[in-house]
Structure 1
Amino acid sequence: MRTLKYILSIGLLTSTVSCNKFLDVQPLESISDTQTIFDKTSAETALRGVYSALSNGSYYGTTFQSIGYLTGDNIQWTGSQSQVQEFINKKVNADNSTIGSAWTAIYRTINRANNVIAKVPTVTDPLLTDALKNQLVGEAYFIRALSYFDLARTWGGVPLITKPTANPTENSGISRSSQAETYALVLKDLETAEPLLPATTDRYRATRKTVWALRSRLHLYLKEWAKAEEYASKLITDTNYRLVKPYNAFFANDARGTQESVFEIFYSANETNTHRGQWQPQTNGGTRQWAPNDAIVALLNDPKVGGGRSTLIAKDNQNRWYGNLYYRTPATDPTFVFRIAEIYLIRAEARANQEKITDGLADLNAIRDRAGIAAATATTKDALLLTIENERRVEFALEPHRWFDIVRTGRAAQVFNVTDANRLLLPIPVGETLIDKALVQNPGY
């Protein structure tokens, strides 16, 4: 089948090391949905399948994140594939295989989440308590919310599919909702998930606190400044989260699950993170298909700008710079979905937009202090917002925020020289529009 809107099965996954490592899993087989969720064990296994889809190489493993890397202005493409260069040039075509793979992977994740949401509440098993049912369903709602959030910020409005797929043609003819309607579903799913989830700290599984992280980001995108500040504050005031020092303490020396992390994706030797191979040079067993460009190298190596963040990059034996956020052998590096550093900068931006200059500056300077650079002294809203924008560029130099940041703030023309507003959303993959005539292409493609 060409589109994952029509998936008929979800992958069963099984623990390979310890039952305590919920996400230390490997693919086993795919079976009919009608057989997958019938007791506590199968319900938990189905949820593992949702997380596995989220961590897949075509979603948060590499492909979807590459859209955020390559369309920004921090990363250069060192290969020769013209389809990848389209992102660098900000002129992506509808037949681009990267967007096709990402779209498919996200809808696969949504379908697996839909199965958990629909079927777990109906299971009768004394071992599957109501509290555990709520948790599993809440986690699925959160992952579905994250998936639709990613679809909305990348493609705009998309078909909203909230029930498990039962046959290949069931979802045919569903037209696209608007971007606003898609974001509204994200918010609804998060509001549903929050009371179902435990108020615990877990850096690998969704909890109420993970919901707060996505809500803070969502409200920032929607320019709902007070709400963005409110949800960011819930995490910043939680003593389980802090900016670890030095900067690289959250990823160097095989670090995992530090207090910096709000939500990261767990990988194991059985299910590796394909990021590493793209960043590391050939001498380290990678391909260095993308690498930091001259502009970000200069910023990171400037002690007044990069500070301790210079540890994000290194040189290979040919004197070439490469990204070193993903470096482990085997490739068990976590993918960082939410760090507390982002939450500080969300609150800084939200406060700046409410003219809370002193408070916003304090949040920004917490990030700069951790990086080992001097405090900023912006005194106006516009100056503070620009300083936050520049800080985000360096703080998340090798994380896929830059493109989305510049697009959501309406500064793509000034920063990226993208004057065609149609290019701010990517085209719907051509394979999808050919299959379903109700799926209307984005303007300009």
Structure 2
Amino acid sequence: MMKFTNLHKLCATLLVAAMLTGCKKDFLNQVPEANLTNTNFWKTESDLKQGVVGAYSSLRGMGTFSYWLFGEMRSDNTTFQYNAPQRGQENREQVDQFLATSANTLIQDFWRESYTAIFRCNDVLDHVEAIAASDAAKKQAVGETKFLRAFYYFNLVRQFGGVPLRLEVTKTPTDAPSKGRATADQVYAQIVADLNDAVTNLPDASAYGAADKGRASKGSAHALLGKVYMTQRRFPEALVALRRVTGYGLMPTYSSVFSIQNKNNMESVFEIQYYVSGGTNLSSNFMYQFAPFNSGTIVTQDPGTNLTYTSGWNTPTADLIASYEAGDQRKDVSLAEGFTAPTGFVAVPYVKKYNQGFVQPGQTNVNFPVIRYADVMLMMAECLNEAGFVAGGEAFQLLNEVRRRAGLAPKTSGNPVAGLNVSSQEAFRAAIEQERKIELAFENHRWYDLVRTGRAVEVMNAHGQREVSKAPAQFPAGAYAVTPNKLLLPIPQREVILDNLSQNPQ
């Protein structure tokens, strides 16, 4: 996604233009802003750029909530800090405990925001050819919006299964009803088609100037395509796509990946951009949501922001904490097992990875990684292993390069240390799962990895039993009773009624 320096300039320019227009004698002849339509808006290259920015902008809102709620907190990596005095957020807890119903407002929000984003992509694609813009600008706009549309649909299909395919702009009320739910295969076919078009139209990341770092690139599209193919268990095709993600590399240390000074670094294939500057609020707030609600200002170091019921979420679980090997440098970067209050140590874990300071009270500049090159390397290793186990082969090299940066010893076939011995295809699958769990913790991959590998029901039921055993009275009946049907979210009841959609069995 684009670095928001340009977006700030664009917003400021629009504001100044509006003010100047109001001072001119012919202001009565201006088209009222409330009356802007597709007919009088989509005219210039500036309009095209604004449309593309709109397609990106949906990422920010979903990135600060929906993506981690449904992609990480549903997994065994994180849970929530139980807030006994404040019981107004049960809808979040229900997602974590597999008790969410079709009436859950957060599921409705995720659905609505995703389709709003898709509409914005469709609006650009519907008008791009008629705009007076250079061919290069049009080509890039097509590439970016098709990448984004694929990304939005990828999240929908992984969470709901088959969903309505809306590929055209809704222009009249009669266009509003969908054709019903497409099959999951049909949705994936559209995602693949969009990503192949994106690959054709997007430039390499290196072609972007400093002000545009973070936009979707050819590498972003290849990487997402590889992830899509892996989700479909099309490993040979996934490997071809992932090998085409070139020009990237691992940062020298794990901590440097997430430093606020290194946004859009050499390891970043795609990340959601957040920015605070000059009163413009395009900020993130992860450290506030993930800090323990009873930590005051100790964790955030922000005296101007009081933590409330909106804090204490995406809390690292005991399962995850126990998964770290001794000496793994990623642990201290990623999480803390508690905080020290004036009364002593409080053992409430929290995510540290996004705790990089604030710019203004409640506002941070911290981006959220969507795909990193470490993720690409581990996906390639998995694809190679699925093609056939090779002791000491390329898959081991990729796995151990990621481990080496974390300060860990390599895993090898026949290693005399039991924890480092990987001597079969199945053992390598387990090693990859473990490495992805730790390397990509709190980056919204764990839930999707469990589902695509067929491990979600087994892992989440075992995890749930351990969670409930700690404080049985805090858990409603049926919590963590995970069945295959529970792996998909229910379709929001509002959509079932208004769009006549079939419901997912629960």
TM-score of the two chains, using structure 1 as the length reference: 0.88
1:116-195 → structure 2 map (5 Å cutoff)? 116-123=124-131, 125=132, 128-195=133-200
What is the correspondence of 1:19-418 to structure 2 with a 5 Å cutoff?
A: 19=6, 31-55=36-60, 57=61, 59-78=62-81, 79=83, 80=87, 81-123=89-131, 125=132, 128-201=133-206, 203-235=213-245, 238=246, 240-269=247-276, 270-281=281-292, 282-283=296-297, 284=300, 285=305, 286=307, 287-300=311-324, 302-304=325-327, 306-314=328-336, 315-318=338-341, 319=346, 320-327=348-355, 328-329=357-358, 330-357=363-390, 358-377=393-412, 378-417=422-461
Deviation at 1:344, TM superposition (A): 0.6
Structure 1's 118 and 253: CA in aligned 2 closer, same or farther, altered over 3 A?
A: closer
Partner of 1:9: none
Aligned match of 2:497: 434
For structure 1, the residue ranges without an aligned partner over 5 or more in a row are 1-14
One-letter identity of the residue aligned with 1:354: A
**8 Å CA contact retained: 2:250, 2:267:** yes
Per-residue deviation, residues 124-160 of structure 1 (Å, max 9, x unmatched): x2xx211111101111111001111111111000000
Deviation at residue 339 of structure 1 after TM alignment: 0.4
Tell me: CA distance 1:17–1:219, structure 2 relative to 1, closer, same or farther (3 Å). closer
Q: Report the CA distance shift for 1:266/1:25 in structure 2 as closer, same or farther (over 3 A).
A: farther
Cα distance in structure 2, aligned partners of 1:179 and 1:409: 17
Bigger shift: residues 384-393 or 274-283? 274-283
Deviations 1:42-98 (A, max 9, x none): 11011111111122x2x2232233111111011121244222122222232111122
Contact 2:68–2:314 at 8 Å: present in 1 too?
no
Partner Cα separation in structure 2 for residue 279 and residue 71 of structure 1 = 15
Count of aligned pairs:
419
1:113, CA displacement in angstroms? 0.3
| Conserved? CA contact 1:23–1:266, under 8 Å | no
Residue 297 of structure 1, CA deviation: 2.3
CA contact (8 A) 1:16 1:26 kept: no
- Counterpart in 2 of 1:425? 488
Contact between 1:68 and 1:403, CA under 8 Å: does it hold in 2?
A: yes
Identity of aligned residues (%): 30
Counterpart secondary structure, 2:282: coil
Structure 1 counterpart of 2:288, one-letter code: G
Output the CA distance in 2 between the equivalents of 1:175 and 1:62.
27
The answer to whether the 8 Å contact 1:244/1:260 transfers is yes
Deviations 1:322-342 (A, max 9, x none): 111222313111011110011
Letter matched to residue 392 of structure 1: R
| TM-score normalised by length of structure 2 | 0.78
Structure 2 vs 1, CA of residues 217 and 17 (structure 1 numbering), >3 Å: closer, same or farther?
closer
Q: Take 2:202 and 2:4, find their aligned partners in 1: how far apart are those partners?
A: 26
Which residue of the partner structure matches residue 3 of structure 1? none
Larger Rg, first or second structure (1 or 2): 2
Q: Which amino acid aligns with 1:289?
A: W
Q: Label 1:90 to 1:336 Cα distance change in 2 as closer, same or farther (>3 A).
A: same
Give how far 1:413 is off: 2.5
Question: Which sits farther off after the overlay, 254-263 or 114-123?
Answer: 254-263
Q: Is the 8 A contact 1:154 1:426 kept in 2?
A: yes
What is the Cα deviation at residue 215 of structure 1? Answer: 0.8
The alignment partner of 1:317 has SS state of strand
State the Cα distance separating 1:403 from its structure 2 match.
1.1
- Please list every run of 5 or more consecutive structure 2 residues that lacks an aligned counterpart in the other structure: 16-32, 413-421, 462-480
